[in-house]
Structure 1
């Protein structure tokens, strides 16, 4: 048991030393009156604090996605969490009498590295297929995380004949914008999807007002259905290359029905695009 504690403390100090030289560590505040919940993208395998006045509890027998942090008055310390897939997360933890935040939803992008990094020598060639697979894995995980959140960016909604199209959230991560889209079928007929497209519309100058559209191709689509049954609600994500809009431009999300006329065009203001979550 002593050897395990020694190894854990050594691992914690080693990772933190590396992390502090390469990353800016976020700070999480806790106290002894309330539980601060940390939700991770993968089940927690190990959680270690650097001081006894901080306690991080999680289910050691059955892997769960969240752990609870409590703290007693004292000096600041650190928290190291290793997920089931080897992803490592590191934070500075401090005691605070009054807490402004009780829940932290931590995305995969906050990981400082992996427990078992892959060492590549100069003769190793990274194949394009491997890069694509890694990107697909990340998109799937992050999109799944966004679908599970209840965060909203604003009221962006359009209705037509019992079909409701809405953009629930727009999130910026790395070099992409993630559009969390919801489609509700409140009608008594199934909705067969023909296409769902996002375009940028520019208003032409002159006496005759018209819109010029430029369609944007998603780099990834998550949970796009072919059919939405009656009284069914689906949520999906479109991953788009990062872009911004001027005041005279706007994004338009088009939902088109196959062999039907229940079509919708949802206009998205430039302020939502330029100020994502």
Structure 2
């Protein structure tokens, strides 16, 4: 790929850019790191040839050789997914689970919706910290008759966190009045990329899909994440 200093080369990827690295300082690749931008801009000055690696949010890796040319014939590239060279190894995740009776097209629909939600970072509906763990609900979205919860768990401790039960409950009534207070576990229709383990210093993001419900007066949703054979459970009241 040819670049120079007085023309801007635009690369548009099929997914938002997560990370980019150039081999030499006389080439510069810029993109918006905050908004999950699909587009990157490339320029360079005369010097030795170099290279560029771009990693998208799904872990797909693209590689390019960079060279200086005084006049460019092409300044726009739409990158196609088959052009990637590799994909990062994904963290250990549980097999996606779903209700009996879902067709392949419905599973594909869930996967597509969940993947789109995970492309964007930065949402902070509610956060809970405990024992160097940070549980966060990043997004709570209704799509049709389903409710999508984007969950992230960051492990700042020195010990791996083996994920146990992940439950969503609804409480009804007031705790002070035991006769009227009750908690009911909501059925999870689909779990997308729910992790088995979050390594020390690591973070995982996944999506829970549940039947749509509207929280009424004196009702509260609660997200619980437990640890396998441990006592580091977290609870997030929504």
TM range (shorter): 0.5 to 0.7
Q: CA deviation at 1:203?
A: 2.2
SS at the partner of 1:230?
coil
Q: Contact 2:170 / 2:219 at 8 angstroms: preserved in 1?
A: yes
Q: Contact 2:125 / 2:140 at 8 angstroms: preserved in 1?
A: no
1:63 corresponds to? 80
1:218 corresponds to? 188
Q: Using the alignment, how far apart are the partners of 2:153 and 2:229 within structure 1?
A: 18
Q: Which has the higher helix share?
A: 1
Q: CA deviation at 1:211?
A: 3.9
Kindly report which structure 2 residues correspond to 1:57-136, keeping only aligned pairs within 5 A, or say none.
59=77, 62-63=79-80, 132-136=103-107
Q: CA deviation at 1:155?
A: 4.0
Q: Using the alignment, how far apart are the partners of 2:227 and 2:199 within structure 1?
A: 13
Q: Contact 1:151 / 1:169 at 8 angstroms: preserved in 2?
A: no
State the superposition RMSD in angstroms. 2.7
Task: Work out which of the residue numbers 184, 202, 227 in structure 2 matches 1:257.
Answer: 227
Give the TM-score normalised by the residue count of structure 1: 0.49
Change over 3 Å in CA distance of 1:202–1:138 after alignment to 2: same
Q: Using the alignment, how far apart are the partners of 1:174 and 1:203 within structure 2?
A: 28
Change over 3 Å in CA distance of 1:266–1:210 after alignment to 2: farther
Q: Contact 1:255 / 1:265 at 8 angstroms: preserved in 2?
A: yes
Q: CA deviation at 1:247?
A: 2.2
Q: Using the alignment, how far apart are the partners of 1:233 and 1:155 within structure 2?
A: 17
Long gaps (5+) in structure 2: 1-36, 40-75, 82-99
Q: Using the alignment, how far apart are the partners of 1:198 and 1:236 within structure 2?
A: 14
Task: Work out which of the residue numbers 198, 213, 221 in structure 2 matches 1:228.
Answer: 198
Q: Which has the higher strand share?
A: 2
Q: Using the alignment, how far apart are the partners of 1:203 and 1:176 within structure 2?
A: 24
1:164 corresponds to? 134
Change over 3 Å in CA distance of 1:208–1:151 after alignment to 2: same
SS at the partner of 1:172?
strand
Task: Work out which of the residue numbers 207, 211, 217 in structure 2 matches 1:237.
Answer: 207
Q: CA deviation at 1:38?
A: 8.9
Change over 3 Å in CA distance of 1:211–1:238 after alignment to 2: same
Q: CA deviation at 1:212?
A: 1.0
Q: Deviations over 1:81-117 (max 9, x none)?
A: xxxxxxxxxxxxxxxxxxxxxxxxxxxxxxxxxxxxx
Q: Contact 1:177 / 1:240 at 8 angstroms: preserved in 2?
A: yes
Q: Deviations over 1:152-171 (max 9, x none)?
A: 2x440111111111100011
Q: Using the alignment, how far apart are the partners of 1:196 and 1:155 within structure 2?
A: 18
Long gaps (5+) in structure 1: 1-36, 40-57, 65-127, 269-277
SS at the partner of 1:240?
strand
Q: CA deviation at 1:150?
A: 2.8
Q: Higher relative CO (CA 8 A, sep ≥ 6), structure 1 or 2?
A: 2
Give the TM-score normalised by the residue count of structure 2: 0.56
Kindly report which structure 2 residues correspond to 1:15-54, keeping only aligned pairs within 5 A, or say none.
none
